[in-house]
Amino acid sequence: MRTFKEIKTHYHFTAEDERRLRDLKPLMAENASQVMGDLHSWIMATPETARYFTDEKIRDRVTQMREVWFQDLFSGNYDNRYYERLIRVGQKHVKTGVEPHWLNRGINLVRSRCLEILNLHFDDGGERLAHLLSLEKLLDINLDVITSSFIEEEIRTYSPAYRVKSALLIFSERFSQAMNLVLVLALIGLTLGVVGLFVRDVIEIFRGHYAEGLITALGSLLILWVMIELMSTEISHLKGGKIGISVFIGVALVTTIRDVLIKTLKHENPETLYYLEALILILGVIFWLVRKTEDRKEP
Ligand code: HEM
């Protein structure tokens, strides 16, 4: 199975396409019930497709979910979670035995309706074409991902090797999700621990140890800041974003700074302090260089 990044690259789906689709959001939200209504009417008017929706509850639920899918086309956010949602849509159709032919026709209908809307909306031919091409790419990507579930199901039926590979993939995915949960829980626990450390330092200030309390409290606040950065990194990773390694260099930097603060207060052997200060300088330079590179890579 290809990654979503690879698929988007193959279709030359760029940040500019994302921006154009996001621009269409209000226009398409206005027309969503019309487009999805047309799709629904066609499904219900075709005996081969209508037979799946004899149950009113299923009909209403799927109609609602199709509308969410349509609105999502113009969210401007096409990350791994979006990819997973498309895979789930594909798997649901495989499970219920809907032939890919009907999905192709369904997307074709949506495409035609959107084309009519864009044609009426844009006076400028160039703008109209650019928006249309972006939408075409995304609809093709949708169809590609949704129908790939059918191909995979077919390979799985005929190839034992693929079955083993796919079972391994599912297992690794679940294991990775479980580890992510452990990581989030550990980060929450550690952050609470740092808050405890900060409270202890503040109590020290009230006990009259002003200088010591203030400096260690400052150190604890620095660690708390790093913990928050780590949590944000994990959250963005779970949402399918990239992990910046600068945050880990930040952890090393801040913990060393805290160490220096505490050692200075305790007047411990100065030689160790020199080493730590040199380490802070090196880490600082590395942090600055890595951050600069990461910022440049961001779109
Ligand atoms: C533009 C084309 C289509 C889109 C975007 C679409 C989207 C969806 C979505 C989002 C779901 C819910 C998935 C879930 O429960 O997680 C769904 C379910 C389903 N769709 Fe489609 N669909 C399309 C076309 C069709 C067509 C043409 C048929 C023809 C029969 C169809 C039959 C079904 C069935 C049977 C289900 C499952 C119902 C159940 O839960 O029992 N879909 N579809």
Strands (E), the chain: none
Determine if ligand 1 sits within 6 Å of the CB of residue 138: no
**Residues with Cβ within 8 Å of residue 136, at least 6 apart in sequence:** 111
Query: Across residues 10-31, what is the average pLDDT?
Result: 96
Q: Provide the pLDDT for residue 230.
A: 87
- Ligand 1 centroid to Cα of residue 89, in Å, is 7
Instruction: Determine which residue's CA is closest to atom 21 belonging to ligand 1.
Output: 93
| pLDDT the model gives residue 189 | 93
CA distance 13 to 5: 9
Is 297 a residue whose pLDDT tops 70?
A: no
- Ligand 1 atom closest to 39 (CA): 1
Alpha-carbon distance of 290 to 245, in angstroms, equals 8
Residue 65 Cβ < 6 Å to ligand 1: yes
Taking residues 65-71, report their average pLDDT: 96
Q: How far apart are CA 100 and CA 94, in angstroms?
A: 9
pLDDT digits (tens, 9 = 90+) for 152-177: 776 676 677 777 877 888 888 889 88
What confidence tier does 240 reach under pLDDT thresholds 50, 70, 90?
Answer: low
Distance from the CA of 64 to the center of ligand 1, in angstroms? 10
The b/e string for 138-162 (b: 16+ C-beta within 10 A; e otherwise) is bbebbbebbbbbbebeeeeeeeeee
Which residues make Cβ contacts (< 8 Å) with residue 90, sequence separation at least 6?
A: 145, 146, 147, 148, 149, 150
Supply the pLDDT for residue 192. 94
The whole-number pLDDT of residue 38 equals 96
User: Atom 8, ligand 1: which residue's CA is nearest?
Assistant: 66
Q: Could you tell me the distance, in angstroms and rounded to a whole number, from the CA of residue 54 to the centre of ligand 1?
A: 14
Query: pTM for the full model?
Result: 0.66
Cα 72 to ligand 1 centre (Å): 15
Kindly report, residue by residue over 91-108, the tens digit of the pLDDT: 899 889 899 999 999 999
The residues near 119 (Cβ < 8 Å, ≥ 6 apart) are: 128
